[in-house]
């Protein structure tokens, strides 16, 4: 029980100690969970439905439940991030339900990266002329979806780093 409390409220160093102990005991693997294209589709559809039912603001408040605050110390590889970006965008463009919605893509990428234990930041930005809103997730220098679609720059007005606003 003390290990669970230490993991829940402890420092990142204490959590790392516990995870290393679990790996040595054979209860946890060393490999990071990667999300292949197969797992992205259901997440993307589910996130899109949640946004449509609850609203984008409420979904942002629920991120702390779906995207844990624990972040690994190693950085994600560019190949792994590129694979996730391609999977999210291809599922989004092929889905009649999602159809390239930046909010759904950004929240899905944020949740999947955070569930892998990787650092990710979700941004919501605004452009004045013509007025538009845009959402994107940044991890390892890569934006999912692109931070400036079609060459339009968006000024971030909200950034979510630790699983909640």
- Binning pLDDT at 50, 70 and 90, where does residue 164 land? very low
Range of the domain at 94: 33-160
**12-25 vs 2-9: helix crossing angle, rounded to 10:** 130
Q: pLDDT digit string (tens) for 51-107?
A: 889 999 998 888 877 777 666 777 778 888 888 888 888 877 776 676 778 888 899
Percent of the chain topping pLDDT 90: 12
105 occurs within a structural domain: yes
137 occurs within a structural domain: yes
45 occurs within a structural domain: yes
142 occurs within a structural domain: yes
Sheet containing 142-144, strands listed edge to edge, beginning at the edge strand earlier in sequence: 142-144, 132-139, 121-127, 155-160
8 occurs within a structural domain: no
CATH of the domain at 86: 3.30.460
115 occurs within a structural domain: yes
40 occurs within a structural domain: yes
pLDDT in the model for residue 33: 53
Beta bridge partners of 139: 142
pLDDT, the chain, mean: 79
21 occurs within a structural domain: no
Number of domains composing the chain: 1
Tally: H helices and E strands in the chain: 6, 4
């Amino acid at each position: 029980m003390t290990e669970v409390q230490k993991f829940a409220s402890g420092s990142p160093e204490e959590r790392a100690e516990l995870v290393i102990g679990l790996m040595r005991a054979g209860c946890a693997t060393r490999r990071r969970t990667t999300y292949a294209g197969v797992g992205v589709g259901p997440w993307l559809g589910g996130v899109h439905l949640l946004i449509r039912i609850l609203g984008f603001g409420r979904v942002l408040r629920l991120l702390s439940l779906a995207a844990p605050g624990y972040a690994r110390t190693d950085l994600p590889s560019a190949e792994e991030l590129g694979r996730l970006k391609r999977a999210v965008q291809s599922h989004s463009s092929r889905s009649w339900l999602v159809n390239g919605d930046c909010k759904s893509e950004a929240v899905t990428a944020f949740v999947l990266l955070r569930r892998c234990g990787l650092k990710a930041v979700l941004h919501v930005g605004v452009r004045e002329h013509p007025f538009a809103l845009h959402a994107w997730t940044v991890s390892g220098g890569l934006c999912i979806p692109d931070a400036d679609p079609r060459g339009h720059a968006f000024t971030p007005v909200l950034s979510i780093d630790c699983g909640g606003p």
